[in-house]
Amino acid sequence: MTSLYVHVPFCVKKCSYCAFYSVPYTAPIIADSKIFGSVDGADHMLLSDPASDLVFVYLRGLERELELRAKEASQGVSSLFIGGGTPTVLNASQLDRLLNLIYRYYFKALSRTDSTELSDPIRDPRIHTSRTGQVLEKTIECNPGTLDREKLMLCRTYGINRISLGAQSFDDRLLKSIDRIHTVEDIHRSVTLIRQSGIDNLNLDLIFGLPGQRMGDWQDTLRQAIALSPEHLSLYALTLEEDTPLHKEYAYSQAGSPDCKETLDGLNSRNRLDRLPDDDLQADMYEWAVSYLQSCGYGRYEVSNFARPGFECKHNRSYWRGQDYIGLGPGAVSCLNNVRTRNPEDIAGYTRILESGQRPLDPSATEVLTREQQISEFMMLGLRTADGIDTAEFSAKFQTEIQDIYGQILQNYIDRDIFRLAEGRLKINPACFFVLNAVLVDFIL
């Protein structure tokens, strides 16, 4: 069954390492006259309440896309993930509108032809289930400092049963080094509110390899995270994503030009790159985390994801298994029947296209996956997981044996005990997870 992702492209402030499409919640916008009409003969108008009006444009466009594309999941969806951005940066009224729209078009609580609001959804069991009666995993991303009781009650009302909280670190100094706006105190306050709301499936996102981060800092972060008893943790090594401020600092620092120092000072006076942990330290951080989390009852089921038994993220698992997914909102990606598409990363443009009755597509990002691409992605995604790849499923899906495709390359990795083939499953040696990306490049056809 198809999973559903909804992108909410608003943040209080863009983090220096983030490559996802988002705009500041308080940013002014010049609205295109084709959406709002002209004023005094001018082609564009500056809106009086920038944050509120930009969200209004987004929600209007999202409603059009929900209506246009609901038929793509005629049997319902297997899971919901509302990400961003920071969905909970929206005020309570805006969040209510967002959640109501999603459930009106994609869940059982309201039929697609019903234009009424939910009367008392928290008492309606249909809001928590699919059209087939299954209780679904429904996740919303949050950042510390953007939650309150009213927003959490809205989430509960609309069946949200999992929260992914962007904690990143339990060290105020390190949070500041990557331009996060929250503090450790905000993390604790948010977790308390989440637990008081009755949500019992909490993920904490954490980053290692931060500027100036030492092994002791990372160990302290994990210990504080575990003290909060989350059901799930996602651990990511800091990466220098292209076109982010952090990547630009790196590019300028490598240029060696006389203007390098001046440029770096303009971007960030701290030159964080001098303080990034090296690869060996990052590897040590990862291996310590794996051992520590396993001792605390968290199993590693994917290279970056750890969970207590029964709390593995169903939505992300559907991605790793190569299942279809629908992405809604500006910048969201969909993949249906081996055709991958992306919406334009522009709120006004996205809404303008939908107002004309067309589906918003970035033509440069539309791709019909070849058989070779499908095989490559099946391997790269499946091998990231502890379950690995079912060789019989591979054969049924691609009408050929896995050894017929990868032959000697695969055998070399098995001989070196990097991969293990047993009982019909191909898996990575657990000791090699941290270097997995370097291995997977050999499986791209």
DSSP string, 319-374: HHTT--EEEESTT-EEEETTEEEE--S-HHHHHHHHHTTPPP--GGG-EE--HHHH
Going from the C-alpha of 319 to that of each of 137, 186, 216, 314, the distances in angstroms are 14, 31, 34, 9
Give the integer Cα–Cα distance in Å for 151 and 97. Answer: 12
Q: Report the pLDDT value the prediction gives residue 39, as an integer from 0 to 100.
A: 33
Q: Report the pLDDT value the prediction gives residue 74, as an integer from 0 to 100.
A: 80
Q: Which residues, 6+ apart, have CB-to-CB distance to 277 below 8 Å?
A: 208, 209, 210, 213, 214, 285
Q: Report the pLDDT value the prediction gives residue 263, as an integer from 0 to 100.
A: 42
Taking 3-state DSSP, the helix, strand and coil percentages for the chain, each rounded to the nearest 5, stand at: 45, 20, 35
- Report which of 315, 305, 311, 318 is spatially closest to residue 386, judged by C-alpha positions: 305
- Report which of 436, 433, 378, 445 is spatially closest to residue 406, judged by C-alpha positions: 445
Long-range contacts for 36-40 (Cβ within 8 Å, ≥24 apart)? Answer: none
Q: Which two tokens stand for residue 430?
A: 């657990």
- Report which of 245, 292, 302, 297 is spatially closest to residue 271, judged by C-alpha positions: 245
Is the CA virtual torsion 27, 270, 209, 247 positive or negative?
Answer: positive
Q: Are strands 79-84 and 232-237 parallel, antiparallel or unpaired?
A: unpaired
Q: Report the pLDDT value the prediction gives residue 127, as an integer from 0 to 100.
A: 59
- Report which of 64, 125, 123, 51 is spatially closest to residue 91, judged by C-alpha positions: 51
Consecutive H or E run containing 149 = helix 149-157
Give the integer Cα–Cα distance in Å for 212 and 193. Answer: 31
Q: Which residues of the chain have pLDDT under 70?
A: 15-16, 26-52, 108-134, 241-274
Q: Which residues, 6+ apart, have CB-to-CB distance to 192 below 8 Å?
A: none
Q: Report the pLDDT value the prediction gives residue 253, as an integer from 0 to 100.
A: 59
Q: Which amino acid is at 147?
A: L
Residue 117 CB neighbours (<10 A): 11
Q: Report the pLDDT value the prediction gives residue 273, as an integer from 0 to 100.
A: 57
Domain ranges for the chain, please list them. Answer: 3-30+56-365, 390-443
Superfamily of structural domain 3-30+56-365: tm_1862 like domain (3.80.30.20)
Q: Report the pLDDT value the prediction gives residue 248, as an integer from 0 to 100.
A: 66
Q: Report the pLDDT value the prediction gives residue 32, as an integer from 0 to 100.
A: 44
Q: Determine the Cα angle at 216 with ends 312 and 311, to 5°.
A: 10
Task: Read off the pTM.
Answer: 0.87
Q: Report the pLDDT value the prediction gives residue 276, as an integer from 0 to 100.
A: 79
